[in-house]
Amino acid sequence: MMRVEIDPHSGFCGGVIRAIGTAEQHLGKGGRLYSLGAIVHNEEELSRLEARGLVTIDTEDLREMRDGVDGEPLLIRAHGEPPQVYARARELGFRVIDCTCPVVLALQREIREAHRRMAPVEGQIVLFGKIGHPEVLGLVGQAEGDVTVVENVDQLRDRIADGTLRTYRDIELFSQTTMSPSGYMQIQQYLGARMAGAELTVHASICRQVASRHRELSEFARAHDVVVFVSGRDSSNGKVLCELCRGANIRTWHIGSAAQLRPEWFGPDDRVGVCGATSTPKWLLEEVAGAIKNLH
């Protein structure tokens, strides 16, 4: 008989819970609530909130707006934004509701302070993160764009080879909060081995909740015959965690909703584990688990 278990550690992280809870409070009063960017990288949850009155806009919309909005609420999601976005929103007359994750806020502050330290000594800031990711854009903006972003060791090697990174100058190294701890360690080791008489300062900037989830999720994937990983297609964290599961269990399937399940993935006696990203709601995990039980 097939058994289905939901990973108890999967589901929204604290920052996303706070942002969605704040949105629901405002939407419960009626009227519109603007969100700068998708409040969560999960299509199912986003559709639920939009049906209640959430309107998603992007930074390009802010740039192109010419008329004021007279106090309309604008939610800054957990990823955060660079300072100039706040300034533009207030210039237009939005009432800003800042839901930047406290962990991201602390990292923004650390990068601003690092920039002040590095500028007088011609040092540099390196950020391990996804190029173009909203959190990364917000972090880079704290240092007026003076940050070198790398996604992997290959990119780091290229930045050293082309002179973008000068390893004979002091470097402060940070990570986007949701990146892989093992990937960050590889970056640290590669860069540390190539410092030429200068100082490398490594900051522990991966969210502790995310770091512990990597360990727990590997154990969860190994404990099941089949893993169904649920996340939105735009979730950076989802892509990282799904590959982590696949590394521990080759029978890992990545879906966005129960409609994408296939009966041929499962055997009658399989132990099936259902898990997801920090942007995957519990209700969706439960819906997928229920649908799997009804396949046979």
Q: Any idea which residues carry the catalytic annotation? A: 135
Q: What is the 3-state secondary structure (H, E, C) of 109-150?
A: HHHHHHHHHHHHHCCEEEEECCCCCHHHHHHHHCCCCCCEEE
**Residue 4: beta bridge partners?**
272
Strand partners, 54: 33
Distance CA 241, CA 211 (A): 11
Task: Order the strands of the 33-36 sheet from edge to edge.
Answer: 54-57, 33-36, 73-76, 95-98
Pairing of strands 124-128, 95-98: unpaired
- Tell me the one-letter amino acid at 84: Q
What string of DSSP letters covers 227-240? EEEE--TT-HHHHH
Contacts for 3 with CB less than 8 Å, ≥ 6 apart: 270, 271, 272
Q: What is residue 35's three-state secondary structure?
A: strand
- Residue-by-residue DSSP string for 169-212: S-EEEEE-TTS-HHHHHHHHHHHHTT--SS-EEE---S-HHHHH
